[in-house]
Amino acid sequence: MIVQQNVSLKPYNTFGLNENAGFLAIVTSIDDLDEIYQTGRFRSQKKMILGGGSNVLFTRGFTGVVGKNEIRGIEIQRETKEDVLVAVGAGENWHQFVLWCVERGYGGVENLSLIPGTVGAAPMQNIGAYGVELKEVFHSLEAYEISSGKTISFFREDCKFGYRYSIFKGELRDEYVITKVFFKLSKQPVFNTSYGAIQDTLEKMEVKKFSLQNVSQAVINIRQSKLPDPLDIGNAGSFFKNPVIEKLHFEALSAQFAQIVSYPVDEEKVKVPAGWLIEQAGWKGFRDGEVGVHDRQALVLVNHGNGRGRDLLKLSKEIQKSVQSTFGIDLEREVNVV
């Protein structure tokens, strides 16, 4: 296993935060995980696992061992006329895996095109976009139990998936390293174009017949027009989750803010876009030195170059306070603070 000492994490997180790791270990196998977690070498060190670093906020250096997940491999396990079960190493790049599926005609992940990061982190927050969530194609996963070194299987019900949530982000946080994910994909795909922007984009692309390729391309086009590329400006996508509030609360807000947007959740609750709330509270395009709020998507906090994680965290708390005092709504962080 390659281990480097005292390494800058700047190339390993999409905020581009220049914090150091005591050790950076490149994990390519279960043996490497054993070396980090079970042998004496790193016993006294703190440990964390990192994928593509696209959903973490480093607020200080990490004095211990950062294990960068590079466990690879994509393998078809089972195939019928209707579907296919695919096992994917947790360190595979998510978008490359989506393209692999699209090329072969395996449907289910095309709406999740261009989400940064690794396959292993995808179940962590049940990634979602454009009307689809990971849980819809998820079959099971294998995870390394840190306390015992054993590999444990988790099926869909075990993961307790919710909106940007799984058991690995909740009660089992820091207890497992996801090493392999199994997906059930359809060989007779049903296209999900319910998200208005996809239909509009397909029309603009003059698509006559839906295919996995053109749905994926439509999603890529929308994302590129809406979300800043971390290569241009440091960010981690949505900083907060979209809050779910009581309908009664929403009705009271609508009387005051006629333009407020919402999506139905159930009989009693609605989801409100955090980007709208943050923009209305006056933060869109805000800049304080090296950190700020994106000028086209207020849900995205940005590092203009030499920002610090602690300044982003401070800004995020000011935004939370301001949204609470304007709308009486608590914004919950989506990003993982280290």
Exactly one of 120, 275, 307, 309 binds ligand EPU (CB under 6 A); that residue is 275
- Residue ranges binding ligand FAD (CB under 6 A): 14, 48-56, 69, 90, 115-118, 120-122, 124-125, 127-129, 168, 177-178, 227, 230, 235-237, 336
Q: From the list ligand EPU, ligand FAD, none, pick the one residue 316 interacts with, judged by a Cβ distance below 5 to 8 Å according to partner type.
A: none
CB proximity list for 107: less than 8 A, separation 6 or greater:
101, 185, 186, 187, 188, 189, 190, 191, 212
Q: From the list ligand FAD, ligand EPU, none, pick the one residue 241 interacts with, judged by a Cβ distance below 5 to 8 Å according to partner type.
A: ligand EPU
Closest CA to 58 of 331, 308, 293: 308
Both tokens of 284, joined, read: 């869109």
CB of 70 to ligand FAD, least distance (A): 10
Q: From the list ligand FAD, ligand EPU, none, pick the one residue 177 interacts with, judged by a Cβ distance below 5 to 8 Å according to partner type.
A: ligand FAD
Return the active site residues. Answer: 164, 238, 334
What span, in angstroms and rounded, lies between the C-alpha atoms of 11 and 260?
38
Q: Is 209 exposed, middle or buried (0-12, 13-18, 19+ CB in 10 A)?
A: exposed
CB of 120 to ligand FAD, least distance (A): 3
CB of 192 to ligand EPU, least distance (A): 11
CB of 224 to ligand EPU, least distance (A): 12
Closest CA to 85 of 74, 69, 95: 74
In this complex, which beta carbon is closest to ligand FAD, that of residue 241 or of residue 308?
241
Q: Cβ atoms within 10 A of the Cβ of 58, count?
A: 26
**Residue list 23-82, contact with ligand EPU (CB under 6 A):** none
- Return contacts of 172-175, CB within 8 angstroms, 24+ apart: 174/48, 174/146, 175/145, 175/146, 175/147
Exactly one of 50, 114, 298, 331 binds ligand EPU (CB under 6 A); that residue is 298
